[in-house]
Amino acid sequence: MMSILAVLAALALCAAQWFIWVHAPVEATLGLIQKIFYVHMPLAGWSMVSFLVCFLASAGYLWRRRPALDLLAGASAEIGVVFSGLALVTGSLWARASWNVWWTWDPRLTTTLIMWFVYAAYLSLRASALPAERRSLAAAVLGVVAFLDVPLVFLSARMWRSIHPAVLASQGGGLEPEMLTTLFFCLGAVGLLWLWLVLFRARQLAAAARIEAAMVFDR
Protein backbone atom coordinates (compact mmCIF):
# COMPACT_ATOMS: atom_id res chain seq x y z
CA MET A 1 0.00 0.00 0.00
CA MET A 2 2.76 2.44 0.90
CA SER A 3 4.49 1.85 -2.44
CA ILE A 4 1.27 2.46 -4.37
CA LEU A 5 0.59 5.63 -2.37
CA ALA A 6 4.13 6.87 -3.04
CA VAL A 7 3.75 6.31 -6.80
CA LEU A 8 0.36 8.05 -6.84
CA ALA A 9 1.78 11.02 -4.91
CA ALA A 10 4.76 11.29 -7.27
CA LEU A 11 2.55 11.13 -10.38
CA ALA A 12 0.12 13.67 -8.95
CA LEU A 13 2.93 16.08 -8.07
CA CYS A 14 4.34 15.77 -11.59
CA ALA A 15 0.90 16.41 -13.10
CA ALA A 16 0.51 19.40 -10.79
CA GLN A 17 3.49 21.02 -12.51
CA TRP A 18 1.58 20.95 -15.80
CA PHE A 19 -1.42 22.56 -14.15
CA ILE A 20 0.76 25.25 -12.56
CA TRP A 21 2.90 26.18 -15.55
CA VAL A 22 0.57 25.43 -18.49
CA HIS A 23 -3.08 25.25 -17.45
CA ALA A 24 -3.16 28.18 -15.01
CA PRO A 25 -2.88 31.61 -16.64
CA VAL A 26 -0.19 34.09 -15.69
CA GLU A 27 -1.57 36.58 -13.17
CA ALA A 28 -1.73 40.07 -14.67
CA THR A 29 -0.22 42.02 -11.76
CA LEU A 30 2.40 39.72 -10.21
CA GLY A 31 3.31 37.63 -13.23
CA LEU A 32 5.02 34.26 -12.80
CA ILE A 33 5.83 34.79 -9.11
CA GLN A 34 2.11 34.36 -8.36
CA LYS A 35 2.42 30.67 -9.24
CA ILE A 36 4.18 30.06 -5.93
CA PHE A 37 0.67 30.36 -4.49
CA TYR A 38 -0.16 26.88 -5.83
CA VAL A 39 2.57 25.47 -3.57
CA HIS A 40 2.12 27.85 -0.66
CA MET A 41 -1.61 27.31 -0.17
CA PRO A 42 -1.52 23.47 -0.12
CA LEU A 43 1.44 23.47 2.28
CA ALA A 44 -0.39 25.81 4.65
CA GLY A 45 -3.66 23.89 4.38
CA TRP A 46 -2.20 20.44 4.95
CA SER A 47 -0.07 21.70 7.84
CA MET A 48 -3.30 22.61 9.63
CA VAL A 49 -4.72 19.18 8.80
CA SER A 50 -1.57 17.72 10.37
CA PHE A 51 -2.18 19.63 13.57
CA LEU A 52 -5.83 18.58 13.57
CA VAL A 53 -4.72 14.94 13.36
CA CYS A 54 -2.22 15.61 16.17
CA PHE A 55 -5.03 17.08 18.27
CA LEU A 56 -7.40 14.15 17.66
CA ALA A 57 -4.68 11.54 18.23
CA SER A 58 -3.52 13.30 21.41
CA ALA A 59 -7.07 13.44 22.75
CA GLY A 60 -7.49 9.78 21.85
CA TYR A 61 -4.29 8.88 23.68
CA LEU A 62 -5.45 10.70 26.82
CA TRP A 63 -8.67 8.70 26.66
CA ARG A 64 -7.42 5.24 25.59
CA ARG A 65 -3.67 5.32 26.34
CA ARG A 66 -2.93 3.50 23.08
CA PRO A 67 0.72 3.91 21.96
CA ALA A 68 -0.30 3.92 18.27
CA LEU A 69 -2.22 7.16 18.84
CA ASP A 70 0.80 8.74 20.49
CA LEU A 71 2.95 7.78 17.51
CA LEU A 72 0.38 9.14 15.06
CA ALA A 73 0.27 12.43 16.97
CA GLY A 74 4.06 12.71 16.83
CA ALA A 75 4.27 11.84 13.13
CA SER A 76 1.56 14.28 12.10
CA ALA A 77 3.10 17.06 14.21
CA GLU A 78 6.48 16.54 12.56
CA ILE A 79 5.03 16.77 9.07
CA GLY A 80 2.92 19.76 10.13
CA VAL A 81 5.99 21.64 11.36
CA VAL A 82 7.81 20.93 8.09
CA PHE A 83 4.84 21.96 5.95
CA SER A 84 4.06 25.10 7.97
CA GLY A 85 7.73 26.08 7.91
CA LEU A 86 7.78 25.73 4.12
CA ALA A 87 4.53 27.70 3.96
CA LEU A 88 6.19 30.53 5.90
CA VAL A 89 9.19 30.50 3.54
CA THR A 90 7.12 30.45 0.34
CA GLY A 91 4.81 33.06 1.85
CA SER A 92 7.78 35.34 2.46
CA LEU A 93 8.85 34.99 -1.16
CA TRP A 94 5.33 35.82 -2.29
CA ALA A 95 5.09 38.73 0.18
CA ARG A 96 8.27 40.26 -1.23
CA ALA A 97 6.69 40.39 -4.69
CA SER A 98 3.20 41.37 -3.50
CA TRP A 99 3.87 43.81 -0.65
CA ASN A 100 7.58 44.66 -1.19
CA VAL A 101 8.50 43.25 2.24
CA TRP A 102 9.78 39.84 3.33
CA TRP A 103 7.73 39.89 6.51
CA THR A 104 5.00 41.94 8.13
CA TRP A 105 3.21 41.38 11.42
CA ASP A 106 -0.08 40.70 9.70
CA PRO A 107 -2.57 38.66 11.80
CA ARG A 108 -2.38 35.63 9.48
CA LEU A 109 1.41 35.64 9.39
CA THR A 110 1.77 36.27 13.12
CA THR A 111 -0.61 33.51 14.18
CA THR A 112 1.06 31.11 11.74
CA LEU A 113 4.50 31.88 13.19
CA ILE A 114 3.17 31.36 16.72
CA MET A 115 1.66 28.05 15.60
CA TRP A 116 5.03 26.95 14.19
CA PHE A 117 6.85 27.78 17.44
CA VAL A 118 4.23 26.04 19.59
CA TYR A 119 4.47 22.80 17.62
CA ALA A 120 8.27 23.06 17.46
CA ALA A 121 8.12 23.16 21.27
CA TYR A 122 5.83 20.11 21.15
CA LEU A 123 8.46 18.21 19.14
CA SER A 124 11.15 19.30 21.60
CA LEU A 125 9.06 17.85 24.42
CA ARG A 126 8.72 14.56 22.51
CA ALA A 127 12.51 14.45 22.14
CA SER A 128 13.14 15.10 25.84
CA ALA A 129 14.72 12.60 28.23
CA LEU A 130 11.55 12.07 30.27
CA PRO A 131 10.41 8.48 30.88
CA ALA A 132 8.50 7.23 27.85
CA GLU A 133 5.03 7.02 29.42
CA ARG A 134 5.31 10.37 31.17
CA ARG A 135 6.67 11.97 27.99
CA SER A 136 3.78 10.64 25.93
CA LEU A 137 1.25 11.89 28.46
CA ALA A 138 2.80 15.38 28.61
CA ALA A 139 2.99 15.52 24.81
CA ALA A 140 -0.66 14.52 24.52
CA VAL A 141 -1.72 17.35 26.84
CA LEU A 142 0.33 19.86 24.86
CA GLY A 143 -0.98 18.40 21.59
CA VAL A 144 -4.53 19.19 22.72
CA VAL A 145 -3.76 22.66 24.08
CA ALA A 146 -1.57 23.68 21.12
CA PHE A 147 -4.45 23.22 18.71
CA LEU A 148 -6.13 26.36 20.12
CA ASP A 149 -3.98 28.49 17.79
CA VAL A 150 -4.91 26.57 14.61
CA PRO A 151 -8.49 27.93 14.24
CA LEU A 152 -7.06 31.41 14.82
CA VAL A 153 -4.70 30.93 11.89
CA PHE A 154 -7.56 29.81 9.66
CA LEU A 155 -9.93 32.62 10.71
CA SER A 156 -7.41 35.41 11.20
CA ALA A 157 -7.81 36.92 7.72
CA ARG A 158 -11.58 37.06 8.30
CA MET A 159 -11.64 38.08 11.98
CA TRP A 160 -9.15 40.95 11.83
CA ARG A 161 -8.15 43.55 9.30
CA SER A 162 -5.55 41.77 7.23
CA ILE A 163 -3.63 42.35 4.02
CA HIS A 164 -3.50 38.59 3.59
CA PRO A 165 -6.28 37.53 1.18
CA ALA A 166 -8.94 35.02 2.20
CA VAL A 167 -8.55 33.03 -1.00
CA LEU A 168 -11.45 30.62 -0.57
CA ALA A 169 -13.95 33.20 0.61
CA SER A 170 -17.61 33.09 -0.36
CA GLN A 171 -16.84 35.21 -3.42
CA GLY A 172 -14.27 32.64 -4.58
CA GLY A 173 -11.29 34.87 -3.82
CA GLY A 174 -11.31 36.40 -7.31
CA LEU A 175 -9.61 33.39 -8.91
CA GLU A 176 -10.18 32.45 -12.53
CA PRO A 177 -11.70 28.96 -13.11
CA GLU A 178 -8.36 27.66 -14.41
CA MET A 179 -6.66 28.95 -11.27
CA LEU A 180 -9.22 27.26 -9.03
CA THR A 181 -8.82 23.97 -10.92
CA THR A 182 -5.04 24.19 -10.51
CA LEU A 183 -5.35 25.05 -6.83
CA PHE A 184 -7.63 22.09 -6.07
CA PHE A 185 -5.44 19.69 -8.05
CA CYS A 186 -2.36 20.89 -6.16
CA LEU A 187 -4.23 20.49 -2.88
CA GLY A 188 -4.97 16.89 -3.81
CA ALA A 189 -1.41 16.18 -4.96
CA VAL A 190 0.17 17.63 -1.82
CA GLY A 191 -2.47 15.78 0.20
CA LEU A 192 -1.29 12.46 -1.22
CA LEU A 193 2.29 13.38 -0.34
CA TRP A 194 1.18 14.42 3.16
CA LEU A 195 -0.65 11.13 3.73
CA TRP A 196 2.36 9.07 2.62
CA LEU A 197 4.74 11.09 4.80
CA VAL A 198 2.56 10.80 7.91
CA LEU A 199 2.06 7.04 7.50
CA PHE A 200 5.73 6.46 6.70
CA ARG A 201 6.90 8.53 9.66
CA ALA A 202 4.43 6.79 12.00
CA ARG A 203 5.89 3.43 10.91
CA GLN A 204 9.40 4.72 11.56
CA LEU A 205 8.44 5.91 15.04
CA ALA A 206 6.78 2.56 15.79
CA ALA A 207 9.93 0.71 14.73
CA ALA A 208 12.08 3.02 16.87
CA ALA A 209 9.80 2.42 19.85
CA ARG A 210 10.11 -1.35 19.44
CA ILE A 211 13.88 -1.11 19.27
CA GLU A 212 13.98 1.11 22.37
CA ALA A 213 11.73 -1.33 24.26
CA ALA A 214 13.93 -4.28 23.23
CA MET A 215 17.07 -2.49 24.41
CA VAL A 216 15.47 -1.74 27.79
CA PHE A 217 14.36 -5.36 28.11
CA ASP A 218 17.89 -6.63 27.31
CA ARG A 219 19.32 -4.54 30.11
**Helices and strands counted in the chain (H then E):** 7, 0
pLDDT at 24 over 50: yes
Local confidence band at 27 (pLDDT 50, 70, 90 cut-offs): confident
> Does position 197 have pLDDT exceeding 90, yes or no?
yes
Q: Cα–Cα distance between 107 and 159 in angstroms, integer? A: 9
Helix (H, G, I), strand (E, B) or coil at 27: strand
> Are the beta carbons of 79 and 201 closer than 8 angstroms?
yes
pLDDT given for residue 172 in this prediction: 43
User: Would you give the DSSP letter of residue 176?
Assistant: -
Contact (Cβ atoms closer than 8 angstroms) between residue 135 and residue 54? no
pLDDT digits (tens, 9 = 90+) for 175-195: 788 999 999 999 999 999 999
Q: How far is CA 85 from the centre of its chain?
A: 8
pTM of the model: 0.89
Distance from C-alpha of 69 to C-alpha of 160, rounded to nearest angstrom? 35
